[in-house]
Chain A
Amino acid sequence: MSGELSAVKVGFSYGGAEVLRNVSLSIGAGSQVGLAGPSGSGKTTLARVLAGLIPPSAGHVACNGAPVRRGDGSIAMLFQSPRRSCSPRMTLRAVIAEGIAGVRGPRRRREIDAGVRQFAARVQLTGDLLDRYPHEVSDGQLQRACLARALAARPDYLICDEATAMLDAATTAAVVRIISGEVAARSLGVLALSHDRELLEAWCGAIKHLP
């Protein structure tokens, strides 16, 4: 079936430790699904399996009807720690440019610059912040840059793994608003993973649980 990102009877073990057993889940294009579960319930593992970063030990994952392939650009991720997902030696402009060029984006300097401006504005990062390095901005500002990088790749699906856990309430609300805007505007499918049920209830249409 096309138009969804799905996990079918997925299992995963790290060595002998079984983390996921028989998990099925699907995210339709243009929908937002919340996945709740306490620390250690396997949320991050499921996120990585869905994104094609690690193969499941049982079952399979499919994106729009085809097997998920690592790095094909159709699935983007937003992580908990923006600091750990940005090179300390790249400016915010370079971070976003990575997303613009991505795997299926433009290669010309001028097009990349225009794209950076467009997506920086979308996440409300103003001009002078773009020339700073990660250590010169706050967690909230850096997570906005990571969101711009993720959206700039024009993915079909976005997986947010505790993406707001380090942020204050105001930045959390802003990030959720920006993502929801993309869902409405271009049918982005979103999976939001968090231990915070209340956040997921306010954010997503549907909530599922990992045991």
Chain B
Amino acid sequence: MTASEDRDLVARAVSGEDTAAFGELVRRHQSHVRNFLRKLAGDHALADDLAQDCFLHAWDKLQSFSGRGSFIGWLLKVAYTTFLQSKRKSKRYAEILESAGHVADQESRHQVLPDDEVTDLDKFLAVLTEEERAIMVMSYACGLSHREIGDATDMPVGTVKSVIFRGKEKIRNSFDIKDHQHG
């Protein structure tokens, strides 16, 4: 899976509206995007729906991929934007419900995993803010460089570094991470 192959596929998809080339891009990157969104949303079904929306947005905006950075970096930017838009929409929906007199049960809106399904990673992610979570996942799970994360989140590289530093500190302060094993 090389960057130049991705760029070729993007060029094919854009120039001739080649959906097969786009399908290949989806096949290559769906795992990263879905895992990224699962970690952000904490709900697998919602994350997969968001991943579908993300790829449809990516198809619409494919011409805007300049080829300067990696395609996965660009794709995660689209995924993060899709996630934030969905959060905004659900927040607005909750506000409408509340103003209409419905007392929405917080627990029912956020799928809570049973205790035995809560992993160390879930515990770590829980102490982070949404922004920190997104940046830490991009860095440690997706292997994006600080520059790529900066591009994806519209943040200067310095800010990305400080968010990662802060995230690590929070995890360090909340848990003794040396005692944790993978899982």
Partners in one complex: no
